[in-house]
Amino acid sequence: VKEHKGGHWLRERTVYSDRDDHVEVSFADEAVPLWDQNDGVLLIVVKHGATKQKMRVWWHHAFLRPEGEELVLSVTKAWIEGLHHDVGCNRRAACGFSLRAAFADEPRP
């Protein structure tokens, strides 16, 4: 974990898409600090060869949907900075592109 402007960078992962073009990345094996803020920015950098795509999503705790022991953020590319201008032309990502991020929820008494 690398601290950066009050946030944290997780180590780089190499991932591959399945036949449905889904990519899943898990950081469950990394020790990450407990996030104690109600909101933040999720930054994802995807590299394919020499091409780099940055995606930023602002999130708030109220936007996270409970799913079992996780809190889930699910957004279409219209809400992703870096892809929002691609909504009509679909050059950077497919028409149905969406981002799903699941966070471990702290157990409640």
Structure tokens given for 56: 């930023």
In a domain, 13, yes or no: no
Q: Looking at the 3D structure of the chain, how many domains does it have? A: 1
Rounded to the nearest integer, the mean pLDDT of the chain is: 79
State the SS3 of 15-40.
CCCCCCCCCCCCCCCCCCCCCCCCEE
In a domain, 55, yes or no: yes
Question: pTM of whole model > 0.75?
Answer: no
In a domain, 78, yes or no: yes
In a domain, 11, yes or no: no
Range of the domain at 109: 37-109
Q: What is the pLDDT of residue 29?
A: 66
Is the predicted pLDDT of residue 27 greater than 60, yes or no?
A: yes
In a domain, 69, yes or no: yes
In a domain, 28, yes or no: no
pLDDT tens column, 33-84: 677 778 888 888 888 788 888 888 988 889 899 998 888 888 888 888 888 8
In a domain, 82, yes or no: yes
In a domain, 23, yes or no: no
Instruction: Give the CA angle between residues 73, 76, 15 to the nearest 5°.
Output: 75
